[in-house]
């Protein structure tokens, strides 16, 4: 049984923290202690101050045995990156759209109580470390659970990917996606990439709108390092995004390095439905 649960709501999905308070009261009825750690807003925000008058706030995530993300897949992604140094299992309650990561519906309170009592298996998910190198210096670093995207804002660019110093792909197009197995059902899938079981250990490299019939998605060993460069960038705004968050400028001569991270995300899996059943249901909506 878990000793302490931290509820992590997205206030843009959980208006007035109504769902947070409902979960807090349900946990209390089962003698499970919990606190709130709101995402996307500062603790000084008026709505958070109002929440703290009703339930305790968690100063940090580290003492928790389980994190409950209230929102959608984007909320789980944000929480995964914030907590990756702590290795705390995360369970998502979906008030978003697809719900690949936030698998529980808001009405499944009994399942949430089961998770809070430790009734789940740990699903370990690979993450990616990302470095942007400019003139020999690292100017940006981040870690992704879903994907890293190199994308031209308006025009076609020429993208080259090297593995072990050898050219693995070269094409002109809108850009490139490097996804984890968890992220294979996201942007990569919409760009024509394969579906990969989420607990696999691979990198999925998917071209964006390639102007070359032979430019296809391919799957790479997790032990490889990808070196990605782009030509024809000058005068063509190009950016990097990591899990759909920060937008970082990419200039001519820059090099993007992507490799498997030493960090993992642990998803609390209640094994309510097999992966492929959930996937087909979500993608048929």
**Residue closest to 270 by CA, chosen among 126, 105, 145, 63:** 105
- pTM of the prediction? 0.94
Catalytic residue among 14, 73, 142, 254: 73
CB-based contacts of 272-279 (< 8 A; 24+ apart in sequence): 272/103, 272/111, 275/197, 275/198, 278/100, 278/103, 279/100, 279/185, 279/195
Is residue 269 annotated as part of the catalytic site, yes or no? no
Task: List the beta strands (DSSP E) in the chain.
Answer: 4-9, 33-36, 66-71, 90-94, 104-105, 121-134, 137-144, 147-152, 157-163, 166-173, 175-179, 203-208, 218-220, 225-231, 238-242, 247-249, 255-269
Q: What is the pLDDT along the chain (285 residues), one digit of tens a residue?
A: 567 999 999 999 999 999 999 999 999 999 999 999 999 999 999 999 999 999 999 999 988 999 999 999 999 999 999 999 999 999 999 987 777 888 898 778 899 999 999 999 999 999 999 999 999 999 999 999 999 999 998 889 999 999 999 999 999 999 999 999 999 999 999 999 999 999 999 999 999 999 888 899 999 999 999 999 998 877 778 999 999 988 999 998 999 999 999 999 999 999 888 888 888 888 887
Is residue 17 left, alpha or beta, with left meaning phi > 0 and alpha meaning psi from -120 to 50? left
**Alpha-carbon distance values, 236 to 17, 110, 160 (Å):** 42, 52, 16
Domains plus CATH for the chain?
4-120+270-283 (3.40.50.10330), 127-263 (2.60.200.30)
Are 161 and 167 spatial neighbours (Cβ–Cβ below 8 Å)? yes
Residues for the chain: how many in total? 285
Per residue in 20-34, pLDDT (tens digit) is 999 999 999 999 999
């Amino acid at each position: 049984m878990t000793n302490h649960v931290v509820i992590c709501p997205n206030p843009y999905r959980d208006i007035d923290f109504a769902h947070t308070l409902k979960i807090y009261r349900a946990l209390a009825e089962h003698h499970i202690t919990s606190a709130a750690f709101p995402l996307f807003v500062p603790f000084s925000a008026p709505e958070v101050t109002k929440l703290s008058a009703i339930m305790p706030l968690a100063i940090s995530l580290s003492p928790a045995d389980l994190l409950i993300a209230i929102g959608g897949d984007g909320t789980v992604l944000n929480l995964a990156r914030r907590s990756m140094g702590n290795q705390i299992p995360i369970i998502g309650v979906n008030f978003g759209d697809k719900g690949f990561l936030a698998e529980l519906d808001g009405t499944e309170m009994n399942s949430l109580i089961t998770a809070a009592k430790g009734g789940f298996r740990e699903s370990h998910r690979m993450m990616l470390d990302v470095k942007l190198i400019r003139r020999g210096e690292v100017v940006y670093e981040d870690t992704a659970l879903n994907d890293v995207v190199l994308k031209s804002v308006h025009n076609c660019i020429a993208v080259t990917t090297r593995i072990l110093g050898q050219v693995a792909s070269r094409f002109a197009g809108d850009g490139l996606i490097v996804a984890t197995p968890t992220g294979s059902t996201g942007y990569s899938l919409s760009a024509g990439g394969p579906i990969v079981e989420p607990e696999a250990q691979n990198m999925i490299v998917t071209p964006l709108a390639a102007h070359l019939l032979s430019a296809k998605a391919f799957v790479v060993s997790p032990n490889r390092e990808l070196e990605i460069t782009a030509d024809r960038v000058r005068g063509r705004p190009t950016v990097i995004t990591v899990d759909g968050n920060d937008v970082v400028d990419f200039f001519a001569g820059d090099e993007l390095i992507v490799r498997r991270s030493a960090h993992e995300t642990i998803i609390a899996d209640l094994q309510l439905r097999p992966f492929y059943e959930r996937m087909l249901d979500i993608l048929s909506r």
